[in-house]
A and B are shown apart, each in its own frame.
Chain A
Amino acid sequence: MASIRPAAIRSRLPVVGRSAKFVPLLSNRFYSKTTPKTVAPLFTVSRTAPSTSLFNVLGRRSYIKSNEEETPEGLRYTEEHEWLALEDGNLAVIGITGYASKALGDVVYVELPSVGASIVAGEPIGAVESVKSASDIYSPVSGEIIEINEQLDKKPGLVNAEPYRRGWICKILIKDTTELESMMDNHRYQTFIASS
């Protein structure tokens, strides 16, 4: 586990992040539509965190170059262009990468999995529709769907606008965390998309 997710990240999470599950990254409380583009870091706490912290990188989103923005550090990636963020132990958040959301074009509908469904790594867990195309979303890990992003029913465009934030797809309770080891880090993913 330690090798998968440096202890440093957890210990330096903002206090609110420890009590409320994944609230810091995704909740409207911290990121609303009216937030100006040039907003300061979401968490002032993160100034003390190392630059490898996921929250730090996402918090300073507006300050990073666009190609880095497409593949934030600290997340894990698949060849099918899904990202995975470990939230707490074996609870993971899954979404579609910025690269994929651009390539797909305007997303008009997201077919979400059902809460409680058990899933197998590599199997489809849903689909997105954009520009007349139905594209499958694959789960990078096996486990159980804990929560789905119901906001996408009304605002499927969040997948394009905020692929790593309010455009997340679902949360999965991972059965076997060793499956994470086959996923790419942001550098490998960048190399992968550059070569494809």
Chain B
Amino acid sequence: MSIAVKNISKRFDSHPALSDVSLDIQEGELIALLGPSGSGKTTLLRVIAGLEFPDAHDGRILFHGRDVSGLSAYQRKAGFVFQHYALFNHMNVFENIAFSFRVLKRSQRPSESVIQDRIDGLLRAVQLEGYEKRLPTQLSGGQRQRVAFARALANKPEVLLLDEPFGALDAKVRKDLRRWLREFHDSTQLTTIFVTHDQDEAFEVADRVVLIDKGGIQQTGTPAQVREHPANDFVADFLGL
């Protein structure tokens, strides 16, 4: 699904988090929002997700050309993965992933065997077969994040939004998960946006990188473009060029 962000501004109290941000994302792209902490990259992701609402000017969010500005995160069909997993600790892995089915009305809910098949498939996709009965507290950080991925993918979102998905993980696991994400994206072509402050991560995984600082987009381009032609001092400085 293509995503268009048009003239979005967002203030927290008096502090501007985003000022007049516009961004176009093509269907099937894998995009990294890259910037230092406090730059507004997470706010932009949350505004796209519908977890945060922009200040009421003329800012709009379009999914596939359709205005979704007034819709909730769920209505936007966006899968969201949180930095600290946000797993439900009292539910086992299976029930965590099945959550989006459990909250459906009985008339809309798929049968138990359909849910079982779907979750088996997801567990295979995130390489966690056999972990259905474990509680989140019995898993490592990387495993928890993969459960969070599976949960976000369960009701077939049309866009996947990841907030620092590898931020809380150690280096080795981070590398593996990065590669996994790239392969997963290549096989599904699901439009994906992820936030990171790690340029290696952004450049290794993303099709296009969006550099953000002080609530504004500083440069957008492929990793090669950005590296070879930094648009301004911030980009050059941040990338250490």
On whether the two chains bind one another, the answer is: no
Residues of A within 8 A of B (CB): none
